[in-house]
Amino acid sequence: MSEARFAHAINRALDDALERDSRVLLVGEDIAKAGGVFGATRGLFDKYGRERVLDFPISENAMAGVAVGLAMGGYRPVIEIMFMDFVALAMDGIVNQAAKLHFMFGGQGDVPLVVRTQHGGGLNAGPQHSQCLEAWFAHIPGLKVVCPATLDDAYALLLASIEDPNPVIFVEHKALYAMKGALSEPAPKAELGVARIERAGSDVTIVTYGAMVHEALAAARSLAEEGVDAEVINLRTLQPWDESAVLASLSRTHRLVVAHEAVEAFGVGAEIAARMAQIGFDELDGPIMRVGAQFLPIPFARNLEKAVLPGAARIVEAVRATHG
């Protein structure tokens, strides 16, 4: 166990991946000497040099496509799209090329490529620097989508993503980088597609991921005071997501809340809820409630952003509503 920050966990995973596998490359804007806007790649350029840690110009679509070419050429590029909002410029490389090549070429080649990016609010970065767009990628066959909540997950899931032979969208939360926490020793391991019960409970299942895991745990604590025992499931991987873990929990609690920071409408939570309304229907004792950002671009002003982004209080309300 060592005390560290979330950004260190990311940095450590990249460091270990670069160390272990000479095919791993980092590519991104200002990630080399500058160490990345959030410091996630700090020190790695000095340690591994210009052939392993590559600065890229402000050309997001080319970056994605170049990474596909590198991946097909036997490398394992980890690219950084500085803000998730900027993936809007890289969708062709990610969705039309990376996601489809293995399938479309009949399995001839793999595209072991990780797109690190960060989403979310909390820094008053405004409408073009705060979006949570993971649902876009979860909808695309051929992509995997990962979203860590803790330091151990950040470390272990990032390594697992880099080791995966498929393109993985790895979504960090900008407000988590500075979060302190424990990083296990020996280094933790993880498998993509496996959720974790962060808190066991018997009255309601709260399914969530990323930064909202912490809100859900806070909600669970305050619900405990009301005598409601909430189970909190951290999905960790959104595509593929751990359907059986969620169903198993629902079969114990019979009530379901799905929470994330992304806009509620057409978000990742819709799929979880819809799926449980099908395969878990007989287990349900109350409506499935969702918690997500309200339906507007993330506004800049402190009070507006705060009001729009969901937190523990809204999760508590939602849990109550599953009984309503």
Partner 1 sequence: MKGGEGEGVDVTDAVARRRSDKAKLTNDAELQRHYARMLLIREAEMRCGALFAEGAIPGFIHLSNGQEAVSVGVMAALRPDDTIASTHRGHGHALAKGLGLDSFFKELMGKADGACKGRGGSMHVADLSVGMLGANGIVGGGVAIAVGSALAHKLRGGDAVAVSFFGDGALAEGVLHECFNVASLMAAPIMFACENNGWSEFSPSSAQIAFTLEKLAAAYSLEYRRVRGSDVEEVAKAAGEAIERMRSERRPCVMEFMTSRVRGHYEGDMQRYRTDQGSLVDPLDVTREALEQRGVAPEILEALAADARAEVEAAVRAAQAAPDATLQSALEGVYAPKERA
Ligand X SMILES: Cc1ncc(C[n+]2csc(CCOP(=O)(O)OP(=O)(O)O)c2C)c(N)n1
What residue 289 binds from ligand X, partner 1, a second copy, none (CB within 5 to 8 A, per partner kind)?
a second copy
How does strand 230-234 pair with strand 196-199? antiparallel
Among ligand X, a second copy, partner 1, none, residue 201 binds (CB under 5-8 Å by kind): none
Q: Which residues pair with 2 in a beta bridge?
A: 183
Enter the tokens of residue 93.
């490389």
Sheet-wide strand order for 196-199: 196-199, 230-234, 204-208, 256-263, 289-293
Using CB under 8 A as the binding rule, whether residue 103 contacts partner 1 is answered as yes
Q: Would you say 225 or 278 has its CB closer to a second copy?
A: 278
**Residue 264, interface with ligand X (CB under 6 A)?**
no
Interaction residues for ligand X, span 26-55 (CB under 6 A): 29
Binding to partner 1, residues 254-273 (CB under 8 A): none
Please identify which residue in 106, 186, 227, 324 interacts with partner 1, judged by CB under 8 A: 106
By the rule CB under 6 A, 58 interacts with ligand X: yes
Rank residues 82 and 171 by Cβ distance to ligand X and give the closer one: 82
245 contact, one of ligand X, partner 1, a second copy, none, CB 5-8 Å limit per kind: none
Would strands 204-208 and 256-263 be described as parallel, antiparallel, or unpaired? parallel
Closest CA to 238 of 277, 203, 212, 201: 212
**192 vs 276, which CB is nearer to a second copy?**
276
Q: Select 58 or 313, whichever has its Cβ closest to ligand X.
A: 58
Identity at 131, one-letter amino acid code? Q
**Residue 194 binding partner 1, by CB under 8 A:** no
Of the CA atoms within 13 Å of residue 248, those in its CB half-sphere come to 10
Comparing CA positions, the residue from 226, 258, 235, 267 lying closest to residue 322 is: 258
Closest CA to 77 of 149, 36, 21: 21
Sketch the per residue contact string, 43 through 72, with partner 1: x for CB under 8 A, - otherwise.
--------x--xxxxxx-xxxxxxxxxxxx
Residues that bind a second copy (CB under 8 A): 61, 85, 87-89, 91-92, 95-96, 99-100, 103-104, 126-128, 133, 135-136, 138-142, 239, 258, 262-263, 265-279, 281-282, 284, 286-290, 295-297, 299
Residues in Cβ contact with 151 at an 8 Å cutoff, skipping those fewer than 6 apart: 4, 5, 6, 8, 9, 179, 181, 182, 183
Residue numbers annotated as active site: 60, 129
Helix (H) or strand (E) holding 224: helix 212-225
Query: Is 241 a binder of partner 1 (CB under 8 A)?
Result: no
Q: Least distance in Å: CB of 101 to ligand X?
A: 16
